[in-house]
Amino acid sequence: MQFQPFSQQHFITVLIGAAVVAGLLVAGKRGGTSRTLATATLAFLNLSAYPFNLAGWLMLDKPAPLDNLLPFHLCDIAAFTAGFALLTKRPILCALTYFWGLAATFQALLTPAISVGFPALAFFSFFIQHFAIVAAALYLPIVEGWRPKQPLWKSPFEVYKWSVAYLVFTLVVNRSLSTNFGFSMRPPENPSLLDHLGPWPWYLISMQAIGILVFFLLAIPLGTRSRN
């Protein structure tokens, strides 16, 4: 079945995912065994996202492009980062998870870059991965008490530098493999924010400017109680 953004299938999926995320946050806030299980579940979902995605694309009855076989999209890297952030609580991993999860992965749930719909495994793996990243991005400050560094600009700027490094990495890989990781060569086929940011390569500049702005805005609600 073909996936259509903003369809009934899309809305139902987002509602179910949001309910699961809320349930994990509630379980984490309860503490004790509930928190341990919620943390372990989120870490597992993030760290196992890539092999599940790979299995989903390989099970389709058509060849999968390298874009769907190699873990070089930002959300692939964000999933690994989120899993290890939950297990280690390292400040830089928590910061990357929070800012990437809410600034980028959340956008991917609103405008999914996927053409495969229910009940394909690739459909499930896509949404489970993206919801797991967003859940981790919320779980770290709400349940674990993570806070960005002070002064308030420090963590956003630190994550922005990693984001620029990722962009450079994708440009090199995409030129070498004729892929489109990070959508740094062209916007996704489905409608997205990139459609409104100008032609290539100008939309890359617009994307970076929006990214650093959103990072700073996301830091503001957490800036009053710094722990890292």
How many C-beta atoms lie closer than 10 Å to residue 71's C-beta?
Answer: 16
Is the pLDDT at 217 greater than 60, yes or no?
yes
What is the C-alpha to C-alpha distance for residues 184 and 171, in angstroms, rounded to an integer?
A: 6
Q: Reduced to 3 states, what is the DSSP secondary structure of residue 198? A: coil
Task: Give the per-residue SS3 of 41-76.
Answer: HHHHHHHCHHHHHHHHHHCCCCCCCHHHCCCCCHHH
- Of 127, 8, 1, nearest to 60 by C-alpha is 1
Convert the pLDDT of each residue in 144-183 to its tens digit.
999 999 999 999 999 999 999 999 999 999 999 999 999 9
Q: Is the pLDDT of residue 210 over 90?
A: yes
Residue 130: partners with Cβ closer than 8 Å, 6 or more residues away: 75, 105, 108, 109, 112
221 alpha-carbon distance from chain centroid: 20
Q: For residue 227, name the pLDDT band (cuts at 50, 70, 90).
A: very low
- Measured in degrees and rounded to the nearest 5, phi and psi for residue 71 equal -85, 60
User: Which tens digit of pLDDT belongs to each residue from 192-201?
Assistant: 889 999 999 9
Residue 182 pLDDT: 95
- pLDDT reported for residue 136: 98
Check residue 225 and give its pLDDT: 54
Instruction: Check residue 228 and give its pLDDT.
Output: 45
Is residue 17 predicted with pLDDT exceeding 80? yes
pLDDT in tens, 178-189: 999 999 999 998
Cis peptide leading into residue 151 (ω within 30°):
yes
pLDDT value of position 224: 62
Question: Cβ(72)–Cβ(80) under 8 Å?
Answer: no
- 84-139 pLDDT, tens digit per residue, is 999 999 999 999 999 999 999 999 999 999 989 999 999 999 999 999 999 999 99
Check: CB of residue 4 under 8 Å from CB of residue 190: no
What is the per-residue pLDDT across 33-78, written as a single tens digit (0 to 9) for each?
999 999 999 999 999 999 999 999 999 888 889 999 999 999 999 9
